A and B are shown apart, each in its own frame.
Chain A
Amino acid sequence: MSDWRDHLVILPVLLPLVTGALMLLFDERRRVLKALMGVAATLLLVAVAIALFRLVDVDSTQVYRVGDWPAPFGIVLVGDRLSAVMVLLAAVVGLASLLFSLARWDRAGPRFHSLLQFLLMGVNGAFLTGDLFNLFVFFEVFLAASYGLALHGSGTARVRAGLHYIAVNLTASLLFLIGASLLYGITGTLNMADLAARVPGVAPEDRALLEAGAAILGIAFLVKAGMWPLCFWLPTTYGAASAPVAASFAILTKIGVYAVLRMGLLLFGDEAGASAGFGREWLVIGGLVTLGFGMIGVLASQELSRLAAFSLLVSSGTLLAAIGVGDAAVTGAALYYLVASTLGVSAFFLLIELVERGRKPGADMLAVTAEAFGEIDDEAASEEEVGIAIPATMALLGLSFVCCAMLVAGLPPLPGFIAKFALLSALLEPNPIKPTAWVMLVLLMLSGLAAIVAMGRAGVRIFWGSQEGRPPRVRVIEMTPIVLLLAMSAMLTLQAGPAMRYLQDAADALHHPRGYIDGVLGSR
């Protein structure tokens, strides 16, 4: 444990924790200092995530024993390809939200920077932990931060949506506890790898109870992932949240998807004995219904932010249905889709605020809240004109809007298309093709069409309609994260081969968890 790389797995948790805690020591008026700390820590987090990403490609299961107790007794953090990809994605989305918020949103309420760091800590911890109860704790950490962030900027709409969000997620947390303790009662362990090793040997009379526990746990995850009918809180909360917060929340639904993927394949993979494949048909059906529901929601949305929230549901539904198929090739394509759609939707959430700024009185709420925190505003006013207004703003906004639309709808040349193509080609691989594969094909095509119709309609209204007043003032710091996210997705297209290979390796490892189990339990 002398090499710094041995501690790489815990750094994505420690770094945001320490940064967020340090920020609390400084007065709320030291805004520049906090912003600098936040940006530096998040950049460092991206670097750490890249290092982890490369490390696990060489040596696939990195086990970190917290407290140095051997695996089934102590808590372990486990870094593998899937975790590394998710941590990197979270870091990039977090960086984009943070940069965007620097222009004005971080002044709309107290403690924004700390809360964002704690959110990243919880998210990274949830991706890296190898212990079920520890997963619960990290869920609570990022949920607690997300409650604060969802209410960031205050206002009636946010508080009303926040109340529902908190109540629903508290109930889901209680279900999580019931499911986790049932699994513990049956198997006598909470370590994920140990659980996976013990599930095939569970006595037949206990099997029903085990499956009930897993199903309750699954419901807790699916509330986060936003599967219909557990998703009604999602569009309202995400639509009401401020732009940078909504963009960082795009990763939160993916945690639910991640947990379903990880636990589902560990506990009920093909090597799990009598319970193998438990719950998959429910995932497929639920995912397809979610896909349909999200599609209708996208078409029916009046506001752009709700449209973005519903396209998040579309992506959740697609992922859940693809995971439910339970085939390594489909899972690999689904992971590619996950990365592409998360980047696209977060860029879209950020872009919406800029586009709507000139049109709707969304800025009014900001003005009101800025007044409520008047003592910050004095200092802020002197720095108001640091950035320069971009010339030809509307052209750039329009171009980004088109890119987002192509990414969300899945049109070439952006990775949304490659993802859907890979997904469909993997779905249509087996012979004979399953009926659910045809349903999914139709729904995927239709959801792409719905996204194009809805976003085309909105785009025409915004960019080609008559301009009322001046174009919105947009600063470089607000445009940078959007361009960053879109450039990342362009990179994903250019490097589609290596990216696909990496994600396919991740999916293969998930479907054959022997390496994971031996890696965790054999670590001495």
Chain B
Amino acid sequence: MNELIVALAIGVLTGCGTWLLLRPRTFQVVIGLSLLSYAVNLFILAMGRLRAGAAPIVEAGAAANPAAYTDPLPQALVLTAIVISFAMTALLLVVLLAARGLTGTDHVDGRETDE
């Protein structure tokens, strides 16, 4: 059941993110990229195999039985990925504002299409 929920969450986030990424407004692109990065973070976690109720850190002094613990590496990777994508989104927001100020439009190409 857990697997299904996580898989659906990743799918929905990716679908929404991809759709928004292809929209013409800069704000939609930023939100799309954020949703995609959430989806990717969940995906990385899932790649370490989903496991409920298991700690990633071995207790001090206890004999380490690897089967009793969840894989800590994907959690470390997700942490790094969150920090990086967060910083990049902030940077993109600054550029977005600069583009809005310089071109006078929030279209991703810096000018409205003739319609």
Contacts and interface: CB of A to CB of B under 8 A. Distances in A.
Contacts of B91: 144, 147, 166
Which of B87, B88, B99, B103 has the largest number of chain A CB atoms within 10 A? Answer: B88
B98 to A, nearest CB: 5
A174 B102 contact: no
A167 B47 contact: no
Interface stretch (A178-186, A276-284, A442-450): A178-186
Interface residues of A, number: 27
14 contacts: A140-B84, A140-B88, A151-B95, A163-B92, A163-B99, A167-B92, A170-B89, A171-B33, A173-B88, A174-B33, A174-B37, A178-B43, A181-B74, A185-B48
B34 to A, nearest CB: 10
What 10 A-B pairs are tightest by C-beta distance, nearest first? A185-B47, A160-B110, A181-B47, A181-B44, A156-B102, A159-B99, A177-B40, A174-B40, A140-B84, A159-B98
Interface in B66-91: 73-74, 77, 80-81, 84-85, 87-89, 91
A491 B98 CA distance: 44
A167 B29 contact: yes
Contacts of A177: 40, 43-44, 81
The main secondary structure of chain A at its interface with chain B is helix
Nearest to A139: B84
A34 B57 CA distance: 45
A151 B102 CA distance: 13
A218 interface: no
B99 A170 contact: no
A133 interface: yes
A359 interface: no
Contacts of B43: 177-178, 181
Question: Which of B46, B49, B103, B110 has the most CB atoms of chain A within a 10 A radius of its CB?
Answer: B110
A178 B99 contact: no
Contacts of B37: 174
Given A159-B95, A185-B48, 17 more contacts: A137-B80, A137-B84, A144-B91, A154-B98, A156-B110, A160-B103, A163-B99, A163-B110, A170-B88, A174-B36, A174-B40, A174-B85, A177-B44, A177-B81, A181-B47, A184-B73, A185-B47
